[in-house]
Amino acid sequence: MRATDRVYFTCIIFICLLMEYNKAIYNHIEHLWKASELSKRRFSINHNIEESTLRDILKKKNYQISLPTIYKICESRNITPSEFFIEVEKFSKIKARK
């Protein structure tokens, strides 16, 4: 395998992993919303994000969640981004087992 092929292959794997991690983030946020039993509007207000952003996250189609959005969600929940990503990983592992 040529070096350029290895780089290309590595990039493809990285992109696939990133897409799966995005999906895990979306699933976790959807879980938080459903567990809150709030409307999309109220959840958005409580988490300092636009309702349209929450709708985009819940659609899970070609939406790239931004770091500022994640920070806003973390700030509203009084957790650090590290804690948020730990929750995402734990939640995705729990879902994978079901």
Single out the residue of 12, 32, 15, 19 nearest to residue 73, CA to CA: 32
Mean per-residue pLDDT for 38-51?
96
Rounded CA gap, 81 and 75, in Å? 9
Give pLDDT, residue 80: 93
What domains are defined for the chain? 19-97 (1.10.260.40)
Percent of the chain residues topping a pLDDT of 90: 47
Give pLDDT, residue 48: 95
* Confidence (pTM): 0.74
What does the pLDDT look like over 10-30, one tens digit per residue? 544 544 445 577 888 899 999
Cβ proximity of 65 and 26 under 8 Å: yes
Higher pLDDT residue, 38 or 18?
Answer: 38
Torsion of CA 14, 17, 23, 29, to 10 degrees: -90
